[in-house]
Amino acid sequence: MSALSSLYPQPLWQWFSQICAIPHPSKHEQALSLHIQHWARDKGLTVVEDKVGNLIIKKPATPGFENRKVVVIQAHLDMVPQKNADKNHDFTSDPIEAYIDGDWVKARGTTLGADNGIGMASALAILGSDEIKHGPLEVLLTIDEEAGMTGAFGVEPGMLDAEILINTDSEQEGEIYMGCAGGVDAEFTVPVVWQAASDAVTTFDLSVTGLKGGHSGVNIHLGRGNANKLLARFLADNATELELAIASFSGGSLRNAIPREATVTLTVPSEKLTRLQQAVAQFEALLQFELAAVEPALKLSLAEVVTPAQVLTAATQTTLIHLLNVSPNGVMRMSDEVEGVTETSLNMGVISTKTNSIQVLCLIRSLIDSGREQVESMLSSLALLAGAEVKFSGAYPGWKPNPDSPVMAIVRDTYQDIYNKEPVIMVIHAGLECGLFKEPYPDMDMVSIGPTIRFPHGPDEMVNITTVGQYWELLLAVLERIPERA
């Protein structure tokens, strides 16, 4: 990763190289947090770790900028831990293997953590500089953004002095974000009853692999395959005819990532084995036709395994298959107010088999509360019909757009002055933390910017090197243009 440190801008990439070297998946950010704290204190900066684990680092203004409004640059400490099935990697102990591929930085077989490591690196690089011009500066690094926004929920009034917040968690250069979706987790618990597996059967793992996955907000409108839903579709079409019996179902690993892989362990009567193999081949060909443009590497496979002691009863299995098959997934509605932006969506992210139940974790996102509530109502009705239970938790608010935002105008005008073109003012269908910050700081003026990051939340994640330089130049120019306090 030493090659990263030679990229422009060097201070940012040097920090990003350090961030990659220190494991920091969601809920395991402490090692990185301590590294940053020790560094900041050695620099003579004021450092506070709040009661949930967020870091607030404060730096005085550069000479001549003491009367400017206080700005907080905000990023999150954690990254999404996703890897390819054939990659041997422990996110709690192994560094990210970042490398340069043309004008992109990628990782070998895992998520890169450019979301939000680049934003974090930019904030730390500014804190470490004696040359960058800025007013009184604060940096807020939150924990657990990707797995529940625990850090953002824990931000309290009085912790920050800033009047302006610059969020660095956007993922498209040339776009300025002034609003985002809110969301809520939905957890189905489907009760199951087991019975002894038959003797005259063969058992297989049926797997869907090779999907792109990605961010369940940013990428949800692209029509990518959801591995959980694809397997449910196959089972709905074939389980009865082929007398399949399910022993377990597992798919996805995060509720906010489109599931790339899923596996169902099932038994089939020996006399129907050939028909199962044919059905799998036919279904694979069908999906490869339907999803050719978006999932060119899609693959279905059968691997024989040891027959388990028990499988689901017929009634339990029927309920489970049809619940998964009929459950909504993907884009529910596009926004009427912001062209090309998803208003409401649902991601069936994780399915896991427990002792007495099958659990299904979903994430609902919406720009409007009523959109989120409508999907909650749909899932509640589905659970009632299926004799299942659904719980909703971790609801977080959206960030209501403010077209008259002064800091948004500064960023827009600065971008136009630097690059001689208009940026795109956007609302993002993802859960930025800004909406939560509006609770303790309702008058804080907010904007979100960032470089171009492709395929976040999946092993194909990459960040464009040129746009990192552009983002850096924009951020520094905006800091220099922050107005004086009234």
User: Residue 470 is encoded by which pair of tokens?
Assistant: 């552009």
d(CA 246, CA 311): 6
Burial category of 391 from C-beta neighbours within 10 Å (exposed 0-12, middle 13-18, buried 19 and up): exposed
Please report, as a single letter, which amino acid is at residue 244: L
Active site residue 445: no
Torsion (CA) 94, 95, 97, 98 in degrees, nearest 10:
160
Angle at 237 between CA 231 and CA 242, to 5 degrees: 100
Q: Whose CA is closest to 304, among 208, 199, 207, 197?
A: 207
DSSP of 341-399, one letter per residue? -EEEEEEEEEEEE-SSEEEEEEEEEESSHHHHHHHHHHHHHHHHHHT-EEEEEEEE--B
Element at 137 (helix H, strand E): strand 137-142
Task: State the residue for tokens 């006399």.
Answer: 271
Say which amino acid occupies 292: A
Q: Is the peptide bond before 9 cis (omega within 30 degrees of 0)?
A: yes
Distance CA 472, CA 123 (A): 10
Strand duo 389-396 + 182-191: pairing: antiparallel
Provide DSSP, 196-232.
EPPSSEEEEEEEEE-----BTTTSGGG----HHHHHH
Q: Which of 78, 144, 295, 376 is catalytic?
A: 78
Rounded to 10 degrees, the C-alpha dihedral 198/199/202/204 comes to: 50
78 is catalytic: yes
In angstroms, how far is the first alpha carbon of the chain from the final one?
46
Q: Is 97 helix (H, G, I), strand (E, B) or coil?
A: coil
| Six token digits for residue 68 | 């400017």
Rounded CA-CA distance 87/185 in Å is 29
Q: Active site residue: 115, 138, 144, 145, which one?
A: 145
Show which residues are catalytic: 78, 145
